[in-house]
Each structure stands twice: as structure tokens, then as C-alpha cells.
Amino acid sequence: MRRSPFQAQLAAGGAAFRERYGIEVVSHFADRPTEYAAVRDAVGLTDFSFVRTFRLPEEKGIDFLDGLLAGNVAKIRYGRLLHTFLADEHGHLLGDCYVANNDQEFVFLCESILPDGPLDALLQAAGAAEAGLTDLTADHGLLSLDGFKAWEVAKTLFGADVLGLPYLSIETYPFAGGSVRLFRAGKTSEFGYLLLMPRALAPALFDALQTEVGKRGGRLCGVDAHDDLRLEGRFFNIHSEGRRVQDPLVLGLQWMIDFDKESFHGAEALRQRRAAGLKRKVVGVAVEPGIEALEIGARICHGDRPVGEVVASCRSFVLDRRIGLAVFPVELAFSGLSFRLATPAGPAVQTLSMPPIMPKSLGVKLDEM
Amino acid sequence: MGSASSVLTTHEIQVKIERRSRVIRTFKEELIRRLNLPFTPEDLHEDVSLLGSGLGLDSLDALEIVLCIEGCFQIKIPDQNVSVLRSINTVVDFVLLEQDRKGGGA
């Protein structure tokens, strides 16, 4: 099982570990509401070293990544990130990916539902060696800094320059005699940064971040709270609805695809399904406060007819109720409707517009600070 | 978010869907035309984020979206009301609410 370079510090912080696709991840440190609140109100520090990280030389990297991923890598401007996905030959999701165009190199982050071995095999078969793909995963750490006050921590460590970084961008900063690649990204709908650093810098950077996070009332967080934050912000989660539904078109991820591109993994299958027309679609759902029955796999009924299935679910602490995503036939896939859960006499389920919350960070303009 | 304590009849669902579909279709077609987006209306999920992640539109595009809403539905977006522009669905919710407020929602 692959372990994080921060394993000792995470364990010292009280991490509860679990395995996911042969990789050790931190489920949580504290209870879910506490970690959730840290991100919404302050800042959370989460180990994301489970994400596979790679670099490629710019010249060879374009063709390799363009032939692999659904988005158009050739169109990424210098200093910017592309958010896209990796699919198999059937057009089913395998990975949620960022690609950064960063000073003579591409940095490729892949949050995959494949264990390391099969993902390596897929990349090799696609020509990774010829493209000069270097796996950074084993000798680098990846941390996610998220929250209303995440920008304050990033500014303290790397300077006021970080405030000018647009969403989906990359910059490299010096730290303790080395360098850290900083991605302005995040999937919680609050301010977010991913920090990729060589293993030699990992302990010192972790400690520095933890200190600054603590000063602002933040804390260490696990991936469970991140899953809730993603769903509440309606960010795609490969480990949740991605793994269950598999089809990016049903999940509404067409924006990640360049349909005009000549080819990419799964392109033919996706083009055929697009041409045939969408039959099912994912929609946000919610139940009344106090109802806890919005479980993954639960059926949603109209009268005595099952019409939907829950594919993701969490407690929204802002809305004080369970929310989720459900797949419906396209003719019923609309916000503002109401059905019943599981049986014709079950609790009411309302379809809702996503994202259902207004994050604090959306009201802050960093470039004016 | 409205109450979910009762469910809708088939007829009520159809009425809501027809009204919402009209607004969605009009907004998507105009959005694609004005911003020259490389998608069909069917490609755009109603929850897709308009700014930042998702369609990745910038502040100039946001102005175009505001003009698009005003042009299509004769509805003004209040200054600083960024919450309306989070997704196609949040825009549509706002349009439907304003149409109801003006008494033209049927």
C-alpha cells in the first residue's frame, strides 16, 4: 500500500487512515462538522498525496496529454491549468485531472479510481516513456489548503503575489532552499491552493502550513469532509458520483471535453453517446431537515414508479439537511420538482439547483486587497 | 429552497418543466451565441458553473451574461449579486422568481 510522505505528521495529528484503491488516505482527524466548519469559516489543511503527480517536457508533453485526456491541452496558456478527465476506451471515467502549463513543463495531476499499477500500465501503453513522463508521486508531497482564509496562509508563506493568481493557475515559489509549485485551484468553493513540493521540503512546509492554519482557527482535515464540501459546492467527485455513474455525459462534464479534438481516450464512445442523445442526467436533490434517509443507491419515486437513483449524498451543514445528486431520465431532470424517496409513501425529495449554497469566499475580491 | 413536505402531481410537474424548459432553452441558446461557446444547448448541464471552474468565463463574460439575461427576459440583475451567476440553474431560478414577482410567470 502506498503511504503519504506526511504519514508521521498525519499520525501525530490524530489521523484516522483508510485504504482507497491501494493508497492510504486520511478519512478524518476530528468529527465531520468540525472539519467542515474549519474550511467554510477559516482554513483546512488536507493531505492530497494520494493524487498521482507527473511532469512532462513541454515539447513532447502536448501530443501525449492531448491524445490521453478529454480537454484540449494545446490550448492551455502559460501559467494556467486545464481541468479535465481521463476515460477508458468506453468513455467511462478513470481520473479527475489537472494539467498545468508551467515554464517548459507540463505538470499533470491525476486523481484516479485506478490503483497505481493499472494507471501506470495505461500511461505506458499510451506512450509515457516516449513523451518523457516523469512520475513525481513517490518523491513529492501534495497538500491542499482550502478555506475562507486560505489566501491569508498562502500570502504569509509565499508573499502578496499569490493574491493576484487567477483561479486555475500555477506559479512556482521558493521555500527553504527549494521550490514549491503552487496551484490556485480547489474544489470546496472556498479559496483553494494545491502545493506540490519535493519530499525533502515536505516536513518543513507541512509544519509551516500547520502553524499558520492554526493561527487562523483552522485545522487538519481528512478526505471525508472534503467529499462533503465538494458535493455542497457541486464540484465533480471521481470517488463518489464519478465511480458510481461512470459516464461523464450523464454527470454533466461536457465542459471538460473538446469534442472538436481529433482523438483522446474514450472519444469515439463519447461521441456516439452524444450523437444518440442523452437519456439520463444527474440533478441535485434534498430532503427535509431531520430526514437522514437520502442514502446512496436509494430509489426516488413518482407515484409508484421509480424515476431516479441517489448517487451521492452528504449532510449540508449550511442548509441543515441532507443533500445529494440523483440520476433521472432527462425528461424529469429539472430543478424545482418534488418526488418521494424509496416508496410512494416515503419522505419527500426535492430537486434543487446546484450549487445550493453561497460560499463566503465568493464575496471576497483578492485582487483588490 | 422551498418546502419539500409535499410532492407534486404529474400535471404540476409537467407545467413546471414546460415553463422551466423554455427559460433554460432561451438562455442557453443566447449564451452560446453571445460567447461563441463550442457546445450545443444539450451539452450544457444546468448546474455547470459559469464563472471560474466549469465554463471558466471571466469578468468580461460575466458582463455579457448579465446583458444576455436583460436582453432575453427584460430582467435586471442587481449590482454585486454574484450569487445569481453561479450556474445556469441559479440564473433560471432568478428569472422565474422575477417573472413571478412581475406577475408574468404562467
Q: Under a CB-based contact definition with an 8 Å cutoff, are residues A147 and A161 in contact?
A: no
Exposed/middle/buried for A45, CB within 10 Å: 0-12, 13-18, 19+? buried
Give pLDDT tens digits for A281-329.
999 999 999 998 899 999 999 988 999 999 999 999 999 999 999 999 9
Contacts B14 to A, Cβ<8 Å: none
The DSSP call for residue A239 is I
As a whole-number percent, the residues of chain A with pLDDT over 90 amount to 93
Which backbone phi and psi does A234 adopt, to 5 degrees?
A: 55, 40
pLDDT of A339 higher than 70? yes
Express each pLDDT in A77-95 by its tens digit: 999 999 999 999 999 999 9
- The beta-carbon neighbor of B53 closest among A83, A338, A340 is A83
Q: Which grid cell sits at A37?
A: 466548519
Task: Give the cell for residue A174.
Answer: 521558493
Closest partner residue to B20 among A254, A336, A349, by Cβ? A336
B8-11: long-range pairs with CB below 8 Å, 24+: B8/A337, B8/A338, B10/A302, B10/A303
By C-alpha distance, the chain B residue nearest A279 is B42
Domains and CATH numbers, chain A: 7-230 (3.30.1360.120), 239-352 (2.40.30.110)
Cross-chain residue pair B42–A338, CB shorter than 8 Å = no
pLDDT at B104 over 70: no
Distance CA A146, CA B51 (A): 19
Domains of chain B from N-terminus onward:
10-101 (1.10.1200.10)
* Contact assessment for residue B72 and residue B91, using Cβ atoms and an 8 Å cutoff: no
pLDDT band with cut points at 50, 70 and 90 for residue B80: low
Q: Is it the case that residue B1 has pLDDT exceeding 50?
A: no
Q: Mean per-residue pLDDT for B56-70?
A: 86
pLDDT digits (tens, 9 = 90+) for A207-265: 999 999 999 999 999 999 999 999 999 999 999 999 999 999 999 999 999 999 989 99
What pLDDT does A358 receive? 85
Give the closest of B1, B38, B83 to A319, CB-based: B1
pLDDT digits (tens, 9 = 90+) for A47-80: 999 999 999 999 999 999 999 999 999 999 999 9
- Over chain B, what is the mean pLDDT? 87
Q: Which of B21, B47, B49 would you mutate first to test chain A, the one with the most A CBs within 10 A?
A: B47
- Under 8 Å between Cβ of A167 and A367: no
Q: Is residue B5's pLDDT more than 80?
A: no
Q: What is the pLDDT of residues A151-175, one digit of tens each?
A: 999 999 999 999 999 999 999 999 9
